């Protein structure tokens, strides 16, 4: 597996040490999508490579505090985790367990800063905006320190090593070899159907769910969405056309549940800082609670309709 090349001269290669000389990657030419006959191990490497390249491409802007780069990095890492889960037994090994633990550490820093970005966007010209901006500055400093650490670069280089030559690539038993050699068209069709079935089960009774179960539905929908997106080209056109319909519903469902989640995260952030306690106008506070209940009911009703369509 070729390693990632950096901008300051084509001979520069990423190492484990943090450095200010790290620059935007030059992407190697790759097929944009999978193909039906492609082996699963080739497809997995392609998908993971694209995710890691996206992380590297956004690293400089992210380290400078760009909210858009932060968002794109989180998406890339979510897609990466979805791909590993999608290919499941073919790639699961002890090295991934270690890398996944480090990814959890990194994701916590990214998530804390991103949650505050969204809360700030939803609090424009409100009394709590400045408090959220102060909290965001603190969270970003912790994130920046993480991004510049040896721990981060060891994780990043470790991911590239694992994708190219991790233990999963060297398993010699017959079943492991068969999994790596299965054509994409066969594996993806079977796996997408399974994930779709699980999501339909999870999303039943969405309107009456607690926030934890609803969050799991949202994550399952997001994973299925990404799995469908990176299956493009790997399924016969007529078969993928039907998944496009599901994908359209998933995107809308993800948006609705995402808005609901953003509201809940913002509320939790404000409560943790005792911002709500500073509201001395009880009438306005009561009006806000009524508004939030109505918004929650409306979002859940629309989301439930979407997921019923997905199950059809």
Residue-range domain boundaries for the chain = 40-169, 183-311
Tell the burial category of 161 from Cβ atoms under 10 Å away from its Cβ (0-12, 13-18, 19+). Answer: middle
| pLDDT value of position 279 | 52
Q: In sequence order, what are the residues at sequence separation of 6 or more whose Cβ sits closer than 8 angstroms to the Cβ of residue 208?
A: none
Q: Looking at residues 202-229, what average pLDDT do you find?
A: 92
Residue 286 has pLDDT above 90, yes or no: no
Residue 66 has pLDDT above 60, yes or no: yes
**pLDDT for 28:** 40
Indicate if the pLDDT at residue 271 is higher than 90: no
Confidence of residue 124 (pLDDT cuts 50, 70, 90): confident
Give the number of other CB atoms < 10 A from CB of residue 235: 21
**Beta carbons within 10 angstroms of residue 10's beta carbon:** 9
Lowest mean pLDDT among 23-37, 95-109, 129-143, 179-193: 23-37
The predicted pLDDT at position 198 comes to: 96
Which tens digits make up the pLDDT trace of 10-51? 233 333 333 333 333 333 444 457 999 999 999 999 999 999
pLDDT of residue 31: 47
For residue 13, list its beta bridge partners: 5
State the pTM of this model.
Answer: 0.77
More confident residue, 271 or 123: 123
Task: State in words which class domain 40-169 has.
Answer: mainly alpha
Kindly tell me if the per-residue pLDDT of 291 is higher than 60: yes
User: Among 3-17, 123-137, 238-252, which is the least confidently predicted range?
Assistant: 3-17
So what's the pLDDT on residue 267?
74
Higher-pLDDT residue of 136, 281: 136
pLDDT at 12: 31
What percent of the chain shows pLDDT beyond 70? 85
Distance, in Å, from the CA atom of 187 to the CA atom of 177, rounded to the nearest integer, reads 14
Cβ atoms of 260 and 300 closer than 8 Å: yes
Q: How confident is the model at residue 278 (pLDDT cuts 50, 70, 90)?
A: low
Residue 4, Cβ density class (10 Å: 0-12 exposed, 13-18 middle, ≥19 buried): buried
Question: How sure is the predictor about 75, in pLDDT bands with cuts at 50, 70 and 90?
Answer: very high
Please report, for residues 105, 157, 184, 226, the alpha-carbon distance to residue 190 in angstroms, rounded to integers and kept in the order given. Answer: 32, 32, 10, 16
If you average pLDDT over residues 48-70, what whole number do you get?
Answer: 95
What integer pLDDT is reported at residue 282 of this predicted model?
Answer: 61
**What is the model's pLDDT at position 118?**
87
Tens of pLDDT, residues 145-167: 999 999 999 999 999 999 999 99
Q: Average per-residue pLDDT in the chain?
A: 85
Distance of alpha carbon 142 from alpha carbon 309, whole angstroms:
42
In this prediction, residue 7 has a pLDDT band, given cuts at 50, 70 and 90, of very low
- 224 and 77 Cβ atoms separated by less than 8 Å: no
What confidence category does residue 197 fall into, taking pLDDT thresholds of 50, 70 and 90? very high
């Amino acid at each position: 597996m070729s390693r990632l090349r950096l901008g300051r001269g084509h001979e520069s290669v990423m190492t484990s040490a943090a450095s200010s000389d790290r620059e935007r990657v030059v992407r190697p030419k790759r097929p944009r999508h999978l193909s039906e006959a492609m082996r699963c191990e080739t497809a997995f490497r392609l998908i993971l490579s694209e995710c890691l390249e996206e992380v590297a491409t956004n690293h400089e802007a992210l380290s400078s505090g760009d909210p858009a780069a932060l968002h794109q990095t989180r998406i890339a890492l979510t897609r990466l985790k979805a791909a590993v889960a999608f290919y499941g037994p073919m790639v699961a090994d002890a090295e991934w367990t270690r890398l996944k633990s480090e990814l959890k550490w990194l994701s916590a820093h990214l998530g804390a800063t991103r949650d505050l970005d969204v809360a700030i966007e939803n609090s424009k010209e409100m009394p709590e905006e400045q408090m959220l901006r102060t909290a965001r500055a603190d969270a970003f400093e912790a994130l920046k320190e993480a991004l510049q650490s040896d721990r981060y670069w060891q994780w990043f280089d470790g991911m590239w090593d694992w994708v190219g030559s991790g233990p999963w690539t060297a398993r010699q038993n017959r079943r492991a070899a068969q999994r790596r050699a299965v054509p994409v068209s066969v594996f993806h069709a079977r796996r997408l159907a399974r994930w779709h079935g699980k999501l339909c089960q999870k999303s039943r009774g969405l309107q009456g769910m607690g926030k934890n179960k609803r969050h799991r539905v949202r994550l399952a929908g997001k994973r299925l969405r990404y799995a469908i997106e990176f299956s493009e080209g790997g399924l016969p056109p007529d078969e993928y056309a039907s998944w496009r319909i599901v994908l359209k519903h998933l995107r809308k469902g993800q948006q609705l549940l995402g808005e609901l989640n953003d509201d809940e995260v913002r509320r939790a952030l404000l409560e943790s800082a005792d911002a709500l306690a500073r509201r001395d106008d009880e009438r306005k506070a009561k009006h806000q609670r009524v508004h939030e209940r109505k918004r929650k009911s409306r979002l859940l009703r629309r989301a439930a309709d979407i997921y019923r369509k997905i199950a059809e």
